Amino acid sequence: MTTMFRKALNALPRLGVQVVDLGPGAAVISRRGRYSATKVSADAWMVGGGRRSTRAPAEGWGLRKAAASSLCARHVADFLANYEVNCVFDVGANRGQYGRQLRESGYRGRIVSFEPVPDALARLRKAAERDPDWWVRPVALGRSESVQSMHLGWKTMNSLLEPSAYGQQRYKRFADTRTTQVQVRRLDKVMDEALHGIANPRPFLKMDTQGFDMEVFAGAGERLDEYVGMQSEVAALQLYEGSPHMTEALAAYEEAGFGITGLYPVTREETTGRVVEFDCVLARVSSVPGSAAGVRP
């Protein structure tokens, strides 16, 4: 039996209205422009639209990037729930995008965000100010306790590393930079404070530090074993001098006892299709709750 909703949808194109049917009870309706929709999970669609472009059509790189980002966010949300994570170390927090995403996806545990860049730090503090279990720390993390020069003016790509020749060719923003001195702490030196008050800590480490993730990872020292999972931005193409290739990073993570659970493209070259960076989500399989592998002393 055809419902009134379905009859209405069928009639609208004759009136010059575009209809993208998403299934029972859902549709995208527009009098102008062209829209497309991609199903990114069982209960979510990614809708792109506007005028078509020969450079980035709605169903091209932009939509695929958005779909990958949405899938990664859902993957992380499910991971945090399945592994009973109660503290997320958000390293390279920028303006708080990741923390807001965690809250929107339903995570209610503690978030400890690390961000040393003054402008981003101010916006991060604003994002977290009404959330008592979202803590902000104005420092960078790395291999050693030190003071280092941070490159600014690169928007979300500020880094403790210099841009590579490839990075300079790809991003014009790298041509104009200034630096500021930032405090760098070791991860193992800040964990006790971050986990204070949590009876049975099950931390998750998220790193998005523009080529510096392996340095953050090294700073965990022997306390790395306490993490049940992690997320790292790994590079297939080098944007920063001294940053590791993804094969090197993944080998180190796996050597430390983590296994890949998801790999999602972050950016890619539009002309060649090569992926520049991936978001990689990893689990310490021995920490799975409720399984023989997850039994802890």
Same domain, 46 and 193: no
Does 176 fall in a domain? no
212 lies in the same domain as 253: yes
- Name the residue type at position 258: F
Q: pLDDT-derived band of residue 176, with 50, 70 and 90 as boundaries?
A: confident
User: Does residue 107 form part of some domain?
Assistant: yes
Phi, psi of 241 (to 5 degrees): -65, 130
24 lies in the same domain as 92:
no
Task: Verify that 55 and 194 share a domain, yes or no.
Answer: no
**CA angle centred on 267, ends 265 and 271, rounded to 5°:** 115
Number of domains within the chain: 2
71 and 51 housed in the same domain:
no
The answer to whether residue 13 sits within a structural domain is: no
Residue 11 resides in a domain:
no
Asked if 69 and 125 sit in the same domain, the reply is yes
Mean pLDDT of all residues in 51-76: 71
Last residue of a domain, one of 59, 74, 91: 59
The pLDDT assigned to 289 comes to 83
Query: Which of 59, 84, 112 is a domain's end point?
Result: 59
Same-domain pairing of 110 and 214: yes
Residues 191 and 51 in one domain: no
pLDDT above 80 for 21: no
pLDDT in tens, 82-133: 999 999 999 999 999 999 999 999 999 999 999 999 999 999 999 999 999 9
Q: What is the per-residue pLDDT for 215? A: 98
Does residue 49 sit in the same domain as residue 70?
no
Q: What pTM value is reported for the model?
A: 0.80
Which pLDDT score is estimated for 101?
96
CATH number for the domain that contains residue 90: 3.40.50.150
Residues 47 and 92 reside in one and the same domain: no
Identify whether 145 is part of a domain.
Answer: no
Query: Does residue 150 lie in a domain region?
Result: no
On average, the pLDDT of the chain sits at 87
Q: Is there a single domain that holds both residue 75 and residue 95?
A: yes
**Same domain assignment for residues 27 and 123:** no
Place of tokens 């709750």: 289
Assigned domain for 206 exists: yes
Domain hosting 251: range is 61-137+187-287
Domain end (from 7, 38, 59):
59
Q: For position 17, what pLDDT does the model report?
A: 64
Q: Which of 103, 185, 115 lies closest to 146 in space, CA to CA?
A: 185
Distance CA 212, CA 227 (A): 19
Least confident of 1-10, 31-40, 189-198: 31-40
Mean pLDDT of the 202-211 span: 98
Say if residue 200's pLDDT is above 70. Answer: yes
